[in-house]
Amino acid sequence: MGIGKKLARDIKYNKYVYIIALPVIVYYIVFRYVPIYGLVIAFKDYVPSKGVLGSDWVGLKHFISFFNNFQSWRIIKNTVLLGVYDILWGFPVPILLALLLNEVRGKYYKRVVQTVSYLPHFISLVVICGLIIDFTSSDGVINDVLSVFGIPRSSFMMRPELFRTLYISSGIWQSAGWGSIIYLAAIAGIDSSLYEAAIIDGAGRFRQLLRITVPCIMPTITILLILRLGQIMTVGWEKIILLYNPTIYQTADVISSFVYRRGLQEFDYSFSAAVGLFNSVINFIFLVSANRFSRKFSESSLW
Amino acid sequence: MKKVRIFYLALAAILSFSLLAGCQGKNTADNSNSNVQTGSQPGSSMDASTSANADGVAYPLKDAQGITFTYWEQLSPEGAKVMTSYAESDAYQALQEKTGVKLKFIHPAQGQVNEQFNIMIASGEYPDMIQDARLYKSGGAKAVQDGVYLKLNDLIEKYAPDYHALRNSTDDIRRQTIGDNGDIWCIYPILNRENPSWYGPVINKEILAKTGLAIPVTIEDWTKVLQAFKANGVETPVVFDPQNRTDSFAASGIDTNGIFLSAFNVGPGFYRSGDKVQYGPIQPEFKDYLSVMRQWYAEGLVDSDFPVRDINGVNALFTNKKAGAYLVSVDSAFSMARGAGFDLTAAQYPVQKVGDKVQYRAKDWYATTGEVAVTTACKHPEIAVEFLNYGYTKEGEMLFNFGEEGKSYVMQDGKPAFTELVTKNPDVPIGSAIYKFKIQAGPHKRWGAYANAVTLANPEGMKIKEMWTENGFDLMLPPLSLTADEGQKAALIMNDVRTYQNEAVLKFIMGAESIDNFDSYVNQIKKMGIDEATGYQQAAFDRYLKR
């Protein structure tokens, strides 16, 4: 049977399902697939008045200009390092938090902790960055504390060696609570008879955690890790441009902040599109290889 | 197993939903950004007296009946406090009545002017007239080539006699109002006299009095005064305005108008030395400047956190008397000092030796921003140009600068003076009143600071401005226009140069890099192609001189 015929029959039988799915499909086509054709401006000299199709082709000019740029290796390195550190330190924290919260038996205490840990997620990034800069300035809270112990005051945001730590740790502070929700949901889905059986077999709390909870949420962890790896090169420009200054460019300047300076401040759309495309291709490669790796060594994968 | 699968479905749903939500937010924001407002239409003006002027454009324009022009203009943030559109501005209503032309305003959303301008151009649906037409990427001359703006040369000669006469009155004005290729692509607001300089070093009078020193004149005096401030317990003797992030001292180690740098006879970026264009930050004199700044930083005379302190932080230092001197716009300095209750004085721009004259300062050129282009979408360009001419007639000049006589201003001893409607209006703060009762920007013969009620209300500040205006501007390049090709290549070079330069200059000042490496810094910038970029500026400057 031809695929068209199959589809037609399926639509006939499940027409309401298709009607429900229609808006989502339309959404993806209109907002996710149609705009992809705009990527061609990476290979053109885009001029708004000529439009996407009318602009002149220039081939790989913008890519070559990016790789010839004196900053390109530095910003690629910074982007990769921030991405890797973010996964290395930022990914396990919500899992740990969820596991710890799960062990807390005091209902009210648990709720208070959860709420407090979610709160930073709802604060605007602009405010967060303002807080970070204020706290780390040479007359800020952190330096006030350090000076008590005789450590000389200095503005942390002017010390390149500290930027990555500050960026990652503030990110963890902001997102760990929110990120733990999904793991708590996964933990809640574990069959309680498993625990009962383990208790009968004499397993203590820690052993239950290690042998039941962790393995049961492993598929969730794997899926989220794969998705996260797909964004390894996506270091948000908003936070970077709100935090950085020329004294710490050497560790803080990343691809997206570079694209921002080029694309939005100087309207160099094509160049930005080229760099953005490069960034996305790397992300795509990470996503696909992580998925393949996971399929090979564990049961869960995205496809 | 089933439970697990349901969980994944839920997981997928949550993830895709959050994606959806994120995007939807963006899309709706885009759609609701521009608000289009119809100008309120004044009653029939047929009975209004028709004023004819010498060259024959008679207002109200008879042919304008039944025509409504769409007019793209940013609504100033101050104006937005009392109006949702200029259609509500008393002065704009009077303008429509006097000229007989009806306007429909299109205002871009606050803070997104560039983005919305580009979207408007990309959409291909242009309004009849665009104010701030320079926003077009690569400049207005390019917009004429691209078929977006009309070439106005002939139209102006024929339909805008008053503007035509004014723009040909001096060489400077003529050069500043025409493109390199001889195309006129917009009508500029033109200053009727040199506009006073608004930016420079202001000093807290109290703190200076405590040191017993005189107002500093030379760089050496400045070092002494700042050291004395420090000795008197002032934590950060001098601070700089970090408002404009890309050109500020905080970002580049050079203050916004190059005020300390110009004492060394170089400009902060590209500048002219005679007819030759040069780049300031690679000149040998720049090394001397860096040495002074480095010394100031090492002695704690400059805020040790300057690269990260934002405008509120800097203002707080000044208002809390932790800073003695501030390089800032004089108007904001006065409003801060009044709020904090101390008196201000100001120093002349610093020089190296007594008797030197600084040749670089904060300056407005005769042709100012607020320029208007007529687009190819306009069906009646000749009427549009006649309308734009109004601000250059005697009557129009008064309407734009002061509003309506007897209402927003009265004549005193032959000079216009604002009434309390503008200066002491209980409902409209003075900063907003200048947008409601007069027209601040827009095509007219501009009186500048002398028609700005806010500035006029502060005669002390005006005196300071006039003192700074005594400085020369021989080092300053007039506004140049690079060709699209030049512009693109120069932007590529300059983006790299600025990034590298800012980083290096801050390191020099903060002592992280030895000043002996200045030569290798210069070489690095040369390697990045600064000579090529200077060449483009030079070519543009040569064309300017030939205009």
Residues of A with CB under 8 A from a CB of B: 24, 27, 31, 47-51, 65, 69-71, 130, 133, 137-139, 155, 157-158, 182, 185-186, 189, 191, 219-220, 223, 227, 245-247, 249-250, 253, 261-262, 265-268
What pLDDT is attached to residue B50? 42
Selection from A258-267, B55-64, B109-118, B446-455 with the highest mean pLDDT: B446-455
pLDDT digits (tens, 9 = 90+) for B441-500: 899 999 988 998 888 888 999 999 999 999 999 999 998 888 777 877 888 788 889 889
Distances (CA, A) of A232 to A63, A82, A170, A288: 21, 8, 17, 12
By Cβ distance, the residue of B7, B15, B148 closest to A189 is B7
Does the structure show a pLDDT above 60 at B21? no
Nearest CA to B424 out of B453, B402, B381, B449 is that of: B453
pLDDT for residue B27 is more than 50:
no
* Exposure of A119 in the CB half-sphere (CA atoms within 13 A): 8
Give percent of chain B with pLDDT exceeding 90.
61
Q: Please report, for residues B205, B212, B231, B322, B365, the alpha-carbon distance to residue B342 in angstroms, rounded to integers and kept in the order given.
A: 7, 17, 20, 13, 33
Write out chain A residues lying below 8 Å of B313, CB-based: 137
The HSE-up count of residue A238 (CA atoms within 13 Å, CB side) is 8
With beta carbons less than 8 A apart as the criterion, state whether A277 and A94 touch. Answer: no
User: What does the longest C-alpha to C-alpha distance in chain B come to?
Assistant: 94
Asked if A223 and B8 come within 8 Å (Cβ–Cβ), the reply is yes
Q: Smallest CA–CA separation between B503 and chain A, in Å?
A: 5
Mutant choice from A53, A247, A249 vs B, greatest count of B C-beta within 10 A = A247
pLDDT exceeds cutoff 50 at B17? no
ipTM value, please give it.
0.72
Residue B138: band (very low, low, confident or very high) from pLDDT cuts 50, 70, 90: confident
Do B251 and A245 make contact, defined as CB atoms within 8 angstroms? yes
Rounded alpha-carbon distances, angstroms, from residue A298 to A99, A213, A295, B89: 22, 17, 6, 69
For A165, other C-beta atoms within 10 Å of its C-beta total: 13
pLDDT in tens, B257-286: 889 999 999 999 999 999 999 999 999 999
* Interchain CB distance below 8 Å, A219 and B146: no
Segment B339-397, tens digit of pLDDT: 899 999 999 999 999 989 999 998 889 998 899 999 999 999 999 999 999 999 999 99
Are the Cβ atoms of B307 and A245 closer than 8 angstroms?
A: yes
- Kindly state the percentage of chain B with pLDDT values over 70: 89
Q: Which of B261, B273, B281, B271 is nearest to B537 (CA)?
A: B271
Confidence bin at B38 (pLDDT 50/70/90): very low
**What is the mean pLDDT of the segment spanning B428-436?**
90
pLDDT of B224: 95
Put simply, the answer to whether A158 touches B308 (Cβ < 8 Å) is: yes
Which of A172, A45, A182 minimizes the C-alpha distance to A117? A172
Minimal Cβ distance to A247: which of B8, B147, B307: B307
CB contact under 8 A, A268 and B309: no
B residues 234..253 contacting A (CB < 8 A): 246, 250-252
Chain B residues 309-348 with CB within 8 Å of chain A: 309-310, 313
Interface of B with A in 278-307 (CB under 8 A): 304-305, 307
pLDDT for the residue numbered B290 = 96
Beta carbons of B308 and A157 less than 8 Å apart: yes
> Per residue of chain A (303 residues), what is the pLDDT tens digit?
678 888 889 888 888 999 999 999 999 999 888 888 888 888 988 876 677 888 888 888 888 888 888 788 898 899 989 999 999 999 999 999 999 998 888 889 999 999 999 999 999 998 999 899 889 888 889 999 999 998 888 888 888 899 999 999 999 999 999 999 999 999 999 998 999 999 999 888 889 998 999 999 998 998 888 888 888 887 777 889 888 888 888 899 998 888 887 776 666 788 888 888 888 888 888 888 888 888 887 777 777
Whether pLDDT at B333 is above 50: yes
For residue A54, the model assigns a pLDDT of 81
Q: Per the structure block, which two tokens stand in for B173? A: 């004005």
Smallest CA–CA distance from A248 into chain B, residue: B503
Contact A189/B308, CB-based, under 8 Å?
no
Q: Which pLDDT value is given to residue A200?
A: 92
pLDDT at A228: 86
Structure tokens of A72?
Answer: 């390109």
Q: Return the residue in B308, B320, B483 with the most chain A beta carbons within 10 A, the one to mutate for interface testing.
A: B308
Measured distance CA(B320)–CA(B303) in Å, rounded: 14
Query: How far does the CA of residue A203 sit from the closest CA of chain B (Å)?
Result: 24
Q: Is the pLDDT of residue B31 over 70?
A: no
* Alpha carbons B163 and B156: distance in angstroms, whole number: 7
Per-residue model confidence (pLDDT) at position B443: 94
Q: pLDDT band for position B313 (50/70/90)?
A: confident
Q: Find the CB nearest B305 among A47, A71, A155.
A: A155
**From CA A194, how far away is CA A213, in angstroms rounded?**
10
Cross-chain residue pair A31–B147, CB shorter than 8 Å: no
Answer yes or no: is pLDDT of B45 > 80: no
